[in-house]
Structure 1
Amino acid sequence: MRAARALLPNLADYRTARRTWRGDLLAGLTVGVVALPLALGFGVSSGAGAEAGLVTAIVAGLVAAVFGGSNVQVSGPTGAMVVVLGPIVAAHGVGAVALVSVAAGVIVIAAGVLRLGRLVSFIPWPVIEGFTLGIAVIIFLQQVPLLTSPHGAPSGTRSSNAAIAAIQSIASADWRYLAWSVGAVAVVAAAMLLAPRVHRSLPGSLIGIVLVAVAASLLSAPLATIGALPATLPAPALPRMDAATLVSLAAPALTVAALAAIESLLSARVAASLADTGPYDPDRELVGQGLASVASGLFGGMPATGAIARTAVNIRSGGRSRLASITHAVVLLSIVLFAAGPVGRIPLAALAGVLMVTATRMVHAGTVRTIMRSTRADAVAFVATAIVTVSVDLIVAVIIGVACAGVFALRGLARSTGVHREPLTGPAAAGDEHIAVIRIDGPLFFAAADRVYETVTGLTGVSVVVLRMSKLELVDATGARVLTDIVTALERRGVTVLIKGVQPGHEELFRTVGVLGSLRHQNHLFDDLDSAIVHARSHVHRAALS
Structure 2
Amino acid sequence: MAHPFTFRPRLLDALAGYDRARFLGDLSAGLTVAVVALPLAMAFAIASGLKPEAGLFTAIIAGFLISLLGGSRVQIGGPAGAFIVIVYGIVQQYGVGNLIIATALSGVLLFVMGLLRLGTLVRFIPMAVVIGFTNGIAVLIGLSQVKDFLGLSIAKMPGDFFGILGALWAHLDTFNPWTFGLALASLALIVAWQHALSALGARVPGLAWLARVPGSIVALVLATAAVALLKLPVETIGSRFGGIPAALPAFALPDFSWESARFMLMPAVTLALLGAIESLLCARVADGMIGDRHDPNQELMAQGAANFVVPFFGGMPATGTIARTVVNVKSGATSPVAGIVHAGVLLLVILAAAPLAASIPLATLAAILMFVAWNMGEWREFAHLRQLTVPYRITLLSVFFLTVVFDLTVAVQFGIFAACVNFIWRISSLSHAERLTAASHPPLAGLEEAVQVWRLYGAIFFGATKMAEALEDQLPRRVLVLDFKNVIYMDTTGADSLRNLVDACRERGVRLIAAGFMAQPLEMARRTGLLAQVQADLQPDVTSAIAAAIAALPEAGAPPPRPA
TM-score normalised according to structure 2 size: 0.88
Matched position secondary structure for 1:321:
coil
State which of 211, 225, 233 in structure 1 corresponds to 2:236.
225
Q: Which moved more, 1:455-464 or 1:202-211?
A: 455-464
Give the letter for the 2:87 counterpart.
L
Partner of 2:79: 77
Partner of 2:487: 472
Matched, 1:185 2:183: yes
Q: Distance in 2 between matches of 1:2 and 1:419?
A: 44
Q: Distance in 1 between matches of 2:175 and 2:421?
A: 51
Partner of 2:471: 456
Q: Distance in 1 between matches of 2:443 and 2:12?
A: 75
Partner of 1:445: 461
Matched position secondary structure for 2:65:
helix
Give deviations 1:363-420, integer Å, cap 9, x for gaps: 2444443455233333332222222222233233233223323322222222221212
Give the letter for the 1:477 counterpart.
T
Partner of 2:163: 164
Partner of 2:302: 288
Rate the CA distance shift 1:544–1:93 in 2: closer, same or farther, 3 A.
closer
- Give the aligned length: 537
Partner of 1:417: 431
Give deviations 1:82-136, integer Å, cap 9, x for gaps: 1110110001122333232222212212222222111111112232222221111
Matching of residues 154-303 of structure 1 within 5 Å: 154-155=155-156, 158-162=157-161, 164-177=163-176, 179-196=177-194, 197-198=196-197, 199-227=210-238, 228-276=243-291, 278-303=292-317
Give deviations 1:282-322, integer Å, cap 9, x for gaps: 11111111111122112111011111111111111111211
Q: Which moved more, 1:238-247 or 1:180-189?
A: 238-247
Deviation at 1:535, TM superposition (A): 3.6
Deviation at 1:496, TM superposition (A): 3.2
5+ unaligned residues in a row in structure 2: which ranges? Answer: 198-209
Matched position secondary structure for 1:446:
coil
- Check conservation: 1:77, 1:303, Cα contact below 8 A: yes
Rate the CA distance shift 1:430–1:75 in 2: closer, same or farther, 3 A.
closer
Rate the CA distance shift 1:453–1:249 in 2: closer, same or farther, 3 A.
same
Q: Which moved more, 1:408-417 or 1:158-167?
A: 158-167
Give the letter for the 1:204 counterpart.
G
Q: Which moved more, 1:347-356 or 1:209-218?
A: 209-218
Matched position secondary structure for 1:200:
helix
Deviation at 1:431, TM superposition (A): 5.7
Rate the CA distance shift 1:189–1:523 in 2: closer, same or farther, 3 A.
same
Partner of 1:525: 538
Partner of 1:116: 118
Rate the CA distance shift 1:221–1:470 in 2: closer, same or farther, 3 A.
same
Q: Which moved more, 1:16-25 or 1:258-267?
A: 16-25
Deviation at 1:251, TM superposition (A): 2.3
Give deviations 1:442-496, integer Å, cap 9, x for gaps: 221111112x123201216634322222332211111111111112123223433
Q: Which moved more, 1:502-511 or 1:423-432?
A: 423-432
Give deviations 1:179-234, integer Å, cap 9, x for gaps: 22221221111111122122421221111122222333344333211122111111
Give the letter for the 2:356 counterpart.
P
The percent identity for this pair of structures is: 36
Partner of 2:497: 482
Q: Distance in 2 between matches of 1:79 and 1:349?
A: 17
Matched position secondary structure for 1:433:
coil
Query: CA RMSD of the aligned region, Å?
Result: 2.6
Q: Distance in 2 between matches of 1:119 and 1:504?
A: 24
Matched position secondary structure for 1:169:
helix
Rate the CA distance shift 1:270–1:463 in 2: closer, same or farther, 3 A.
same
Give deviations 1:242-287, integer Å, cap 9, x for gaps: 44443232222222122222211111121111223x3211111111
Deviation at 1:348, TM superposition (A): 1.1
TM-score normalised according to structure 1 size: 0.91
